[in-house]
Amino acid sequence: MSNTNPSFELSPLIVGMMRLGEWGVKMNTSELETFVEQCLELGLIDFDHADIYGSYSTETDFGQLLKKRPDLRSKIKITSKATVRLVSDRRPEHRINYYDSSKSHILTSLDRSLKELSTDYVDLFLIHRPDYLMNPHEVAEAFDVLKSSGKVKHFGVSNYSTSQFDLLQTYSPVPLVTNQVEVSILELGAFSDGTLDQCLKHKIIPTVWSPFGGGAIFQDTDDERVLRIRKAAGILAEKYNAQIDQILLAWILKHPSGIVPVLGTSKFSRIEKALEATKIELTHQEWYELLEASTGVRVP
């Protein structure tokens, strides 16, 4: 199996939208317009959404921007996700949080996202979370409909194990071009559970969420693990005339699978700093020094 897809490309960094709306800083349309234009000036054109963000409101906010500035649509690429059914006042039929990868839900969710986003297609559509009840034949049928209708250009998954990825790819009529998973100096699973190996093997671009571990590294703490990481990263930050967050991002980017981080910040200055981090080339030894700081165990 080879999922090479030369037509699928991403910016060096992906701009995450989860915290820009109701779940975060609550940007209005004008503020969002300025933010998007600033990102475009840096060459960052990928914007990561999900139907549930902002309790089913953030895609609507972004759609208001595209109504105001329809010229922006041709300059950007939009990712959306579905299959999480979230308890929300906007979805009163949801008694609990659960996952639904049925064909009907995928098609309905994507159509609703397109309406909210004020666009007739998304560049990338992801199955947001693994569904224990997933019927891969149904998902494949949904993908076929969305691809043939022109509503989705590329497809992928998020938070999938290697076996779940392989199962869906076996039946999918289109190549899965990414698996968006959690990776950071505090979340190391993807390095050893086969996720990044699979991406390398099949030339799949891994995208990663929470690349700074939810900000835990930068909070006041007496956690020994965090303190070890700060110390090791601080030494490298001095060497590279950088800041600790830039070193930790460079650590992720060092992996040969070509990881593309999804940034969750609403502060443009942090996005600028993150882009600068793509120029930092840590040595193998420095990479393992940070790994050792995280695990607290010497490499045998």
Which positions are annotated as active-site residues? 53
CA 95 to chain centre: 27
Place of tokens 């949801």: 94
Q: Which of 188, 177, 184 is nearest to 209 (CA)?
A: 184
Q: What are phi and psi of 153, to 5 degrees?
A: -90, -40
What is the enclosing helix (H) or strand (E) of 16?
strand 14-16
Neighbours of 74 (CB within 10 A): 6
Direct distance between the N- and C-terminal alpha carbons of the chain, in angstroms, rounded to an integer: 33
- Helix residue ranges per DSSP H, the chain: 29-41, 53-56, 58-68, 103-117, 136-148, 162-171, 189-192, 195-202, 224-239, 244-253, 268-277, 284-295
CB 249 within 8 A of CB 277: yes
What token pair was written down for 100? 């639904």
